[in-house]
Chain A
Amino acid sequence: MIASLLAQASQVPFEAPVIDFHALAPEIVLVAFTAVVLLVDVIKLEEAKRLIPGLTGLAMLASLIPVISLALDGADRSLFGGAFVVDNLSLVLQAMFLLTAYVVTLLSSNYLAEGDFWESEFYLMLLSSVLGMVLMCSARDLVSIFVALELLSIPAYMMATWEKRNLRSNEAGLKYYLMGVFASALMLYGMSLLFGVSGSTLLTEIGAAIEGGSSSTPIVTLGIVLVIVGFAFKVSAVPFHTWAPDTYEGAPTPVTAFLAVASKAAGFVALLQLIFVGFLGRTDVIEPLMWVLAAASMTVGNLIALRQTNVVRLLAYSGIAQAGFMLAPLAVSGSNPDDALTAVVTYLLIYAGMNLGAFAVIIAVSRKTRSGEISSLGGLFGYAPGLTVAMTLCLASLAGIPPLGGWFAKFVVFRALTAADTPAGYALAIVVALNSVIAFYYYGLVLKAMWFSPAPDGDTTPIRVPVSLLSALTITVAATVLFGVFPGLIGHFTGNLAGLLSFAGG
């Protein structure tokens, strides 16, 4: 039996795939550092705790080097029969994930060291999750997308429960895990349907197979909807958002920042690739689905956010609403694909800066107040004007007030929607406009507490901000302001994304 198989195999000569190591370098560097972190932890034990945060930060920055060199090189690369692609889109997003993870490392180091946490293992989880995200940027195949998704999700489930003696943290992780697994199951079912129809896992081939009116339309529709719903969980779009507030509130705050920014962005990256590489031929299914998801997410997220008293929960609901803003351009992905893609990517980049900045301030303030209630921010302007101004900039940016990054993000969304020149596009643009007004109300609640209210208990001892937190704040606030005043900067990165479509199609 074996002998005959071997004989068969030897008749077809084995061809080793040509591996472009430059294209894989970011992932390889990350894996290498993950191994180093693991080894250092195992060998040095207690002593390692001091080294590992620095090593993790270094890992993120070191992986950025090949990303930059690939960007300078400029050539699009395709490996493993098109399942792994390096192009402008993947490089921009990889850089965003690595920088986000670097900032999260800065946010975590003091938080973990001062609390009751396992430390070294946390960074191992963080590195693995980031590896999944970086991989997601290049994945153009159902299998690699799924592998990347699980690689980024499973460590994240554990990170959410990291405060192990805190019931809320355990609840957070469990909810996140159960919802995540459920979503993965739906998604896999959808993927199997798509594979069944097209006979391939490659997005480009699926795209070719399902384009136009194929005989198995209902199955294709079901497959697309299930796959998208799976990622709708990941990006916490309404009605698949229910896990987010509890998870965000219960998880350690740096992990919340990571989930709210990086994990959500990873979901969007997958959606972008599925829609723009795979499903662009079936925008008759995508557009209405996205319209509803976007409108529902921003409206429901905003309305519930109005009633929140906990600032992390408020950011969770605001994140749901922001996801709605980011989904909105996808509702015109058929009539205006170039602008829609650019809009989502631009929004993701700016959102990462401003939302991380808001979390950085919350982490800094809760070092003193030990509370996440909005009222605990009272009187902040009196005793921590710097943090207040930073938070004000981030929240105003989230609300979309010029000249901060968020206004440009909102603007490109408006632009994509109106440029489509369809009634549905204009209608959604008005929904976005109304929602950005509602959103200011709850950001205003936080501003009000910081600027207008007195400090609770009259406690106005200043806050000591450690260096790592300060650098995280500087990076995020600078990004938020710069992207707003010189949006050309971000246009420089996202301007040539449109090329992706032709490349993926060909």
Chain B
Amino acid sequence: MKDFLNDWGITTMVFLPLVGALVMMLIPKAEEELHKTLALITSLGVAVVGALLALNFDWDNSAELQYVVNKGWIDVIKARYTLGIDGIAMPMILLTLLVVPLVIIYSWNHFPDPVDPKAFLILILVLDTGMLGSFVAQDLILFFVFFEIVLLPMYFMIGVWGGDDRQYASIKFFLYTLFGSALMIVSFLALFFVTGAETFNMTELASLVRSNDVVRTTQILIFGGMFMGFGIKVPMFPFHTWLPDAHTQAPTQGSVILAAVLLKLGTYGFVRIALPILPAGAHWWAPIIGGLACIGIIYGALGCLAQTDMKRLIAFSSVAHMGYVMLGIATLTDFGINAAIFGMVAHGLITGMLFFIAGSVKERFHTLEIGRLGGLLKQAPHLGWILGFTAMASLGLPGLAGFWGEFPVILAAYNPAPGLSVGLFRFYMFVAALGTVLAAGYLLWLFQRTAFGTPKEEFAHEHVHDVGTAEWIAWLPMLVLIVVLGFLPVLIFGMTSDAVQVLAQSLAG
């Protein structure tokens, strides 16, 4: 068992969804139940493999890569098939393993128009492979390939099953991300040739940059290319404009996956690739990233206050929350980066949950116009309370997961890594703290307008069914985790702290 996991565990986990998708391709479209079952079984199978990997993970050495696979892949360009998991990748992988089956369960009776479970579920499984692959890849080219694989399924998901403006939103999503990744691949190659490396292995490149003393200017330029690639994906202000459109137009499942996992590819890229490989570049860029993150926090919050559409509001709140994550990363400290990773997981659970709720509201009322909603607590009390609970989690209420993604980041900004301007980061801290007030404002206001009061005239006499079985099954694990992580943040911090400590030390040294 252990041997199998060591040699094949990660590979099985990453490619099992693809196998499931291939099998589904061979089955005729009409067998809808079979397709749903197959997709669910596949995603659960992936989760089981992932859980086995987590159970056999050597937590005492979580700073080191485990289950490492290193095989030849494209010899001509010296790209290798290198995979591995460490404490930083693990929470991201577990998040993906959790979210994908839940999305499939939620889909059971919530397929968006035009109903085509076969194509829809195949795309979700392909996304699964791309996301998991990005989190385990330890070779820059392999990472790039997985990073790009998620693009097309998401493009089709928004474009085929999205709202009225889906064509605009899907192409915008695609072009923005492609723009970033095109510059990213150039900077990967520049890095390869500047260091004179023999492989694209991340660890090796990191040590080569140090031993060859790559000039600071070069590092800054290469970091700039990566910044475009990852920053657009996060998305950071001013590259965020694709996100509200993509979220608003995407079907519920697409929004959930986008918010819960895809955005994390960007922040994960910073933590996994940009920071460790280019420390000098990171120090130069940190104040800029911190500044943009703060603008994102305030701008996202103000954007939320101005929205009239519930889904668009949640999308803008994503911009604000990812701002906290980026601010945590920008401090370049042990504390800040740990908090940032916690923030990624928390945001994945909470915002994913908010999009689920938005999807269910839309299904019941056929609108997300906040002005037309109201009295949700009267018509569908369970749904209303879940919305309230998730909104509380999102605004960072202590005792729920959201708190540990925001509060430590604000603390970390008080004391950034040596070499960074303390005054500037304390100013950022002030701005970020202000952001939490605004967050409470827009979330509570949203809750008040949609859940309190009496239902509006047009829906007053409609029978609105409360949370259904598929919804309960899909949501409970996320709701429970939001509470559990709120009380036991050590569950995530324990995974990441060793690996982050090594990272922070290497940044300082």
Contacts and interface: CB of A to CB of B under 8 A. Distances in A.
A442 to B, nearest CB: 10
Interface stretch (B175-183, B264-272, B281-289, B393-401): B175-183
A491 B76 contact: yes
Interface in B181-234: 182-183, 185-186, 189-190, 192-194
A433 B77 contact: no
A112 to B, nearest CB: 33
A430 B23 CA distance: 40
Contacts of A399: 178
Given A402-B144, A419-B193, A440-B174, A412 B182 contact: no
A451 B174 contact: no
Given A401-B152, A452-B166, A418 B189 contact: yes
A437 B182 contact: yes
Contacts of A412: 77
Contacts of A419: 189, 193
A494 B76 CA distance: 9
Given A402-B144, A403-B149, A451-B160, A441 B182 contact: no
Interface residues of A, number: 38
Interface in A283-311: none
Interface in A391-420: 392, 396, 399, 401-403, 407-408, 411-412, 414-415, 418-419
Interface in A378-402: 381, 385, 392, 396, 399, 401-402
B167 A440 contact: no
Contacts of B148: 401-403, 407
Contacts of B72: 488
Contacts of A451: 156, 159-160
A412 B76 CA distance: 10
B74 A434 contact: no
A488 B175 contact: no
Contacts of B185: 411, 414, 433
A475 B167 CA distance: 32
Interface in A444-481: 444, 447-448, 451-452
B151 interface: yes
A418 B171 contact: no
Contacts of B77: 411-412, 415, 487, 491
A429 interface: yes
Contacts of B434: none
B167 A448 contact: yes
Contact of B186 (A402, A414, A441): A414
A426 interface: yes
B190 A430 contact: no
Interface residues of B, number: 35
Nearest to A419: B193
Contact of B189 (A408, A415, A434): A415
B436 to A, nearest CB: 36
Contacts of A487: 74, 76-77
Contacts of A401: 148, 151-152
Given A401-B152, A448-B171, A488-B76, A436 B182 contact: yes
B427 interface: no
Contact of B73 (A415, A488, A494): A488
Interface in B235-266: none
Given A401-B152, A414-B186, A436 B193 contact: no
Contact of B167 (A392, A396, A426, A452): A452
A421 interface: yes
A415 B119 CA distance: 36
A452 B159 contact: yes
B488 interface: no
Interface string A327-359: 000000000000000100000000000000000
B75 interface: yes
Contact of B193 (A421, A440, A444, A448): A421
B145 interface: yes
A407 B145 contact: yes
A151 to B, nearest CB: 33
A384 to B, nearest CB: 13
A155 interface: no
A403 B145 contact: yes
A449 B73 CA distance: 36
Given A403-B145, A414-B189, A441 B175 contact: yes
B171 A495 contact: no
A186 B166 CA distance: 50
Interface string A76-116: 00000000000000000000000000000000000000000
Nearest to B148: A402
Nearest to A416: B189
A299 to B, nearest CB: 14
Contacts of B178: 399, 436-437, 440
Nearest to A453: B167
Interface in B125-155: 141, 144-145, 148-149, 151-152, 155
Given A402-B144, A452-B166, A487-B74, A441 B171 contact: yes
B144 A433 contact: no
A412 B182 CA distance: 13
A419 B152 CA distance: 29
Contacts of B167: 448, 452
A191 B324 CA distance: 65
Contact of A396 (B75, B145, B152, B186): B152
B376 to A, nearest CB: 32
Nearest to A451: B160
Contacts of A414: 185-186, 189
A113 B131 CA distance: 48
Contacts of A411: 77, 141, 185
Contacts of B141: 411
B186 A430 contact: yes
B190 A426 contact: yes
Nearest to A444: B171
A342 B75 CA distance: 14
A401 B175 CA distance: 12
A418 B190 contact: yes
B179 A495 contact: no
Interface in B275-334: none
Contacts of B76: 342, 487-488, 491, 494-495
Contacts of A408: 74
Interface in B438-457: none
Contacts of A415: 77, 189
A341 B487 CA distance: 60
A129 B508 CA distance: 65
Contacts of A430: 183, 186
A168 to B, nearest CB: 31
B412 to A, nearest CB: 34
Nearest to B114: A382
B190 A433 contact: no
Nearest to A495: B76
User: Which are the 3 A-B pairs with shortest beta-carbon distances?
Assistant: A491-B76, A433-B182, A402-B145
Interface of A: 342, 381, 385, 392, 396, 399, 401-403, 407-408, 411-412, 414-415, 418-419, 421, 426, 429-430, 433-434, 436-437, 440-441, 444, 447-448, 451-452, 486-488, 491, 494-495
Given A401-B148, A495-B75, 19 more contacts: A342-B76, A385-B119, A392-B152, A399-B178, A403-B148, A412-B77, A414-B185, A415-B77, A418-B189, A419-B189, A426-B186, A434-B182, A436-B178, A437-B178, A437-B179, A444-B155, A452-B167, A488-B73, A495-B76
12 contacts: A402-B145, A402-B148, A426-B186, A430-B186, A437-B178, A451-B160, A452-B170, A487-B76, A488-B74, A491-B76, A494-B76, A495-B75
